[in-house]
Copies of this chain bind each other. A is one copy, B any other.
Amino acid sequence: MAVQHAENVDLLVCTCCRRQGAPGDAERAGTRLFRRLAERRLPGVTVRAVECLSNCSQGCTIALRGRGRWTYVYGRLDDGADVDTVLEGVAKYQATDDGVVPWRERPEHFRRNCIARIPPLPTLAAGDT
């Protein structure tokens, strides 16, 4: 059984991502995704708008990160249909110590649409700056 942690994690949402074929002056799909996720108010999850996660050709795009955890970037999200998928993935990420959710336990969309991951920063030793 996984130990449940309620530690703070960040859910970064790219507000610049466009839906393919959307006119240039339409509200960005990423902005809608951000608003829908921010409305859900998950305890311990800070939803942050980011102006460009630089995954423009494969949006919508989010990233999950937290201190001492691997950061994961996921793409090709639908701003409407994938809101619950993102929330499921965030909850599983939050329940880990290091951010690594076993592959089989990830939402199927996350399994197929991981764009990149970054290891956590090393813990500073005494005397480091």
Contacts and interface: CB of A to CB of B under 8 A. Distances in A.
Given A12-B119, A119-B12, A114 B67 contact: no
Contacts of A67: 121
Contacts of A114: 54
A53 interface: yes
A119 B50 CA distance: 8
A117 interface: yes
A48 B73 CA distance: 20
Nearest to A72: B54
A116 B119 contact: no
A125 interface: no
Nearest to A121: B67
Which of A52, A54, A116 counts the most chain B CB atoms within 10 A? A116
Interface of A: 10, 12, 48, 50, 52-55, 61, 63, 65, 67, 71-73, 114-119, 121
Closest 8 CB pairs of A and B: A54-B117, A73-B116, A116-B116, A54-B114, A55-B116, A115-B116, A54-B116, A63-B118
Given A54-B114, A54-B116, A63-B118, 8 more contacts: A12-B119, A52-B117, A54-B117, A55-B115, A55-B116, A65-B118, A73-B116, A116-B116
